[in-house]
A and B are shown apart, each in its own frame.
Chain A
Amino acid sequence: MTEPKGEKISRRQVLKYAGGGAVGLAALLYGLDRSQLLAFLDKDAENGMPLQVSKRKVNGIETPLLGFGCMRLPVINRDFSKIDTELAEKMIDYGYRRGVNYYDTAYPYHGGQSEVFLGNTLKKYPRDSVYIQDKMPVWAIKNVDDAQRIFEEQLQRCQVNYFDNYLLHALGLASANSGNPKDAFIGYEKMGLLDYLRQEKTRGRIRQLGFSYHGDVPFLKYLLDNHSWDVVMIDLNYLDWSHSNADERFNNLPSGNNGKYAGELYKLLEEKGVPCYVMEPVRGGMLATLNPAAIKVFKTADPNRSTASWAMRYTATLPNVACVVSGMSILEHVVDNVNTMTDFKPLTQADYQVIDNAVEAFLNHETIFCTECRYCMPCPYGVDIPAIFRVFNECSGDLGVPDPDKPAANYPAQQRVFLTKYNNAVEKSAQADHCIGCETCLQHCPKRLQIPQHMRRIDDLVGKLKHQKEVV
């Protein structure tokens, strides 16, 4: 696979970037095709021992601050069940060389292929040099036999004879078949699931037992009060931490699973002395893209740090966080996160202020969280979805999206720029008014954006802007 193109990146360049500004390296990687990325990774493998990511010891167990989440690995042809194993393995190896040896997977990830991939990839490393965390799909079991069958299958898939961490998957999530989360949990308990897993722990096939959590505060308190747990994994990031659900601006955000209580959940874990593992530190990528206004705040504070690195540092600064698990689907993510966690520097008081300012800027400039991945395209009715969202987001920056009902002081400028951009960037036949709400796009959007709703809203906005020439 090594193509001459790959030679673009010389060893000297790799060395130059490996130590210091990985933002520079991430930027260097940007725009490279797959073969060039592989060439880069092969070159990197020839290097000696690179710098290691920082480690943290919580309750006697030392883990790297960065964990490799295996839910969003690179895939082939956008088919989520077909992992690009060659690239993904080299990404894992890149991390391993730098001490990222903590891996999080689960039964349903990549249609079951995540566990298989991890087994195949990690078998070349000594078992005690890696931490593997897997999860019991509690929604899929009816009795202990099911649980046992699945557990055995997971060990087999991962080609291991024990899991370092084993979690009940997604407690607290109200689902259709299990109803109330607490009742569901009591059901598992009665079924004997907990006893079975404790048994496996005694047998040594589970080192630490815990659960991953997507629920509210009282239920977590119930779980912690009534049982003893080695680890708990929660959604945690600065956006969900610092703002309560009383803030109506949050209603427009695609919701994090239990984001609204993240701060309280963490405090509860700290109080009970249960090590906290973090998932969704970048909120599914949202905190890496934010919007232009918020990015500006971060770049002004420190041009050399990536936007995502602020989110990573925010969670890793919390003392009871054992490991921040980030689902990394492209090499840039790995490089950037490794750099953030190498010689880790906790947030200072000034840094917290920067994050507050960025959150404020982010919430004040409404954004549609489209990353222009174009999975939604082609729209069967010709709507250019990413182009329309780009116009909206670009306008949402310093200028602001015009609001005809509550016109701002610079409304005429907002109106002019929005309409001109919209007209010039989107063909008339591809504009939002051609969305018929067939919802074909919904199943393709990895961000689960309510695309038809956004289209309806933008179409209404454009209609109002066109006719409201003067502001009263």
Chain B
Amino acid sequence: MLRKLRIVIGILVFCSLSLFFFNVIDSLGILAKIQLIPALLAANLLSILFLSIMTLLLGRLYCSILCPLGIMQDIVIWVSRKASKNKKRFTYDPAWTKLRYAVLAIVVVAFFAGFALIPAILDPYSIYGRIATHLLSPVWLSINNLLAIVSDKFELYYIAKKTIHVQSIEAMLLSIGFLLVIGFMAWKYGRLYCNTICPAGTLLGTLSRFSLFKISINPVKCNHCSLCAATCKSSCIDSKTQRIDYSRCIDCFDCLENCPQNALTFTTRFSTKPSGKNADVTDIKVINMKAADTEVSRRRFLTTGALSMFGVAVSVAGATASPSAGSAGENQPVLPPGAKSNKHLSSNCTSCHLCVSKCPNQALKPMSIGYGIGAVMQPAMDYRKGYCDYECNLCGMTCPTDAIQQISLEQKQKIKIGYVVFNQTHCVVETDNVNCGNCAVHCPTKAITMVTYKDKKIPSIDLSRCIGCGSCEYHCPTNPRAIHVVGFAEHK
């Protein structure tokens, strides 16, 4: 029963969040705001309190019903279980305490040092966000565009076509990598990522040790058959000693329904006494243990390998990146309104790319490595394919980490995120000898007026009115643009 409830809620959350990323539904942004690492970055007390209380009461339920990456792994595990037929797949594995806390420590240090890239890369919600934005969304959009063609044929006109383009090579490759590695780990070893690397898992694990409700083994009923351990995707049930590692148990409740003795229950910690009884060790079990040992070592090898690969990737990226993050100039990206400054964005954004998915004009794009290692994959404006709509503040409203702050439309319309530069040699007046004025027509703040130049008119810019929305750059007919926006390192 509990397991079914967990599955139903999990699937609902997973689908809603995915559809939220795909812009099929516009509400339910709460599912992003309730994610642990973003909530911590945003100092979202309500979400932190809710998650702490939930964990202290029920254990790591977050990992089973709220974390999209966790639920995605559950789906992979479910498929692998269906595919392999081998029911006895998982075995108990001692906790990797040192590794877990080492990773958590690095994340915490990076967090306080204002280097959000580390949490960004490891945060499960953000990993899923990038997979959704860069891998799942194009698939969804293709379906959407097919549906649009069909609905247009029937003269319904409910579905708008959307353009599909690769927004960021870095984010896409990283997403493919993570999908393959985490997918493989889940297929073979269950929730290995969640219990070795995931900082959210480790953090919640420290709390869930003390949770009120726990799964406990009735020592009298239990006959050490180890069926529970075989179904435990967290590898946290040691049926020989009848112990469960509560720091790793994610409340999936799979074991409850699998125990032939009905020895497992989900009850308060006070209702059962911890069992100290040692199990009889038979020959068969010794063999099993040996098998488990080799399995464990292979697993450790794999995880360490994956982690060191990641380390190498980060250091290579760091080495090749120009150290210009934070410095102004041509390499200064135009940050979305609400991002405040280079520093604020780079120390808060976990690159979940929800804003990238949400931007109605597709003006937000993840930054390339060229903007510095601290900024890579974080969102910035790209005015060639779209511009920042004067009447829109969606990115700030949806950002779960507060890297793009929630600002009202009135505030947004006043914040200067950049300033515009006019290069007359590229202007269509010079190149094609025709009058244009498209920049002035589309400037929402009337910062551009057309002034006479020879027998034609060229734009004159009032920088006190320009907010850097990029409408002029987008509407400029020449290539390269005669008018373009340069970002402010700190918004004004």
Q: How far is the CA of A381 from the CA of B428 in the complex (A)?
A: 10
In the complex, residue of chain B having the shortest beta-carbon distance to the beta carbon of A469: B391
State the main secondary structure of chain B at its contact with A. Answer: loop
A424 touches B436 (CB 8 A): no
How many A-B residue pairs have C-beta atoms within 8 angstroms? Tell me. 52
Name the one of B148, B158, B159, B434 contacting A436, with C-beta atoms under 8 angstroms.
Answer: B434
Name the one of A419, A434, A438, A467 contacting B160, with C-beta atoms under 8 angstroms.
Answer: A419
State the main secondary structure of chain A at its contact with B. Answer: helix
Given A380-B432, A424-B152, A467-B391, are A436 and B438 also a contact pair (CB < 8 Å)? yes
Q: What sequence of 0s and 1s flags, for each residue 144-170 of chain B, a beta carbon within 8 Å of any chain A beta carbon? A: 000011001000011111010000000
Given A381-B477, A421-B157, A434-B475, are A428 and B163 also a contact pair (CB < 8 Å)? yes
In the complex, residue of chain A having the shortest beta-carbon distance to the beta carbon of B384: A429
B320 within 8 A of A: no
B366 within 8 A of A: no
B161 touches A424 (CB 8 A): yes
Q: How far is the CA of A435 from the CA of B160 in the complex (A)?
A: 23
Q: How far is the CB of A429 from chain B (nearest CB, A)?
A: 9
In the complex, residue of chain B having the shortest beta-carbon distance to the beta carbon of A423: B160
In the complex, residue of chain B having the shortest beta-carbon distance to the beta carbon of A381: B477
A437 touches B437 (CB 8 A): yes
A434 touches B158 (CB 8 A): no
Interface residues of A in 200-233 (CB under 8 A from B): none
B442 within 8 A of A: yes
Q: How far is the CB of B443 from chain A (nearest CB, A)?
A: 12
B435 touches A420 (CB 8 A): no
Given A437-B437, A438-B432, are A416 and B158 also a contact pair (CB < 8 Å)? yes
A423 touches B391 (CB 8 A): no
Name the one of B148, B157, B436 contacting A416, with C-beta atoms under 8 angstroms.
Answer: B157
A420 touches B159 (CB 8 A): yes
Q: What sequence of 0s and 1s flags, for each residue 429-458 of chain B, a beta carbon within 8 Å of any chain A beta carbon? A: 000101111100110000000000000000
Q: How far is the CB of A227 from chain B (nearest CB, A)?
A: 47
Q: How far is the CB of A457 from chain B (nearest CB, A)?
A: 12
Size of B's binding interface in residues, CB under 8 A: 23
B432 touches A423 (CB 8 A): no
A424 touches B160 (CB 8 A): yes
Interface-central residue, B157, B391, B434, by most chain A CB under 10 Å: B157
B434 touches A420 (CB 8 A): no
**Which residues of A are found within 8 Å of B477, using beta-carbon distances?**
381, 434, 436
Question: What range describes how many residues of A lie at the interface?
Answer: 20 to 34
A417 within 8 A of B: yes
Q: How far is the CB of B160 from chain A (nearest CB, A)?
A: 5
**Which residues of A are found within 8 Å of B435, using beta-carbon distances?**
436-438
**Which residues of B are found within 8 Å of A421, using beta-carbon distances?**
152, 157
Q: What sequence of 0s and 1s flags, for each residue 128-139 of chain B, a beta carbon within 8 Å of any chain A beta carbon? A: 000000000000
Q: How far is the CB of B220 from chain A (nearest CB, A)?
A: 64
Name the one of A416, A417, A438, A456 contacting B434, with C-beta atoms under 8 angstroms.
Answer: A438
Q: How far is the CA of A437 from the CA of B16 in the complex (A)?
A: 45
Name the one of A420, A435, A437 contacting B158, with C-beta atoms under 8 angstroms.
Answer: A420
**Which residues of B are found within 8 Å of A428, using beta-carbon distances?**
163, 385-386
A436 touches B391 (CB 8 A): no
Q: How far is the CA of A433 from the CA of B474 in the complex (A)?
A: 10
In the complex, residue of chain A having the shortest beta-carbon distance to the beta carbon of B151: A420
Interface-central residue, A435, A436, A437, by most chain B CB under 10 Å: A436
Q: How far is the CA of A108 from the CA of B438 in the complex (A)?
A: 38
In the complex, residue of chain B having the shortest beta-carbon distance to the beta carbon of A382: B477
Question: What are 20 A-B pairs with beta-carbon distances under 8 A?
Answer: A380-B432, A416-B158, A420-B152, A420-B157, A420-B159, A420-B160, A421-B152, A421-B157, A423-B160, A424-B148, A424-B152, A424-B157, A428-B386, A434-B477, A436-B428, A436-B435, A437-B435, A437-B437, A438-B434, A467-B391
Contacts A428-B163, A438-B434 supplied; 9 other A-B pairs, CB < 8 Å:
A416-B157, A420-B159, A421-B152, A424-B161, A428-B386, A436-B434, A436-B477, A438-B435, A456-B441
Q: Which residues on B are within 8 Å of A, measured CB to CB?
A: 148-149, 152, 157-161, 163, 385-386, 391, 428, 432, 434-438, 441-442, 475, 477
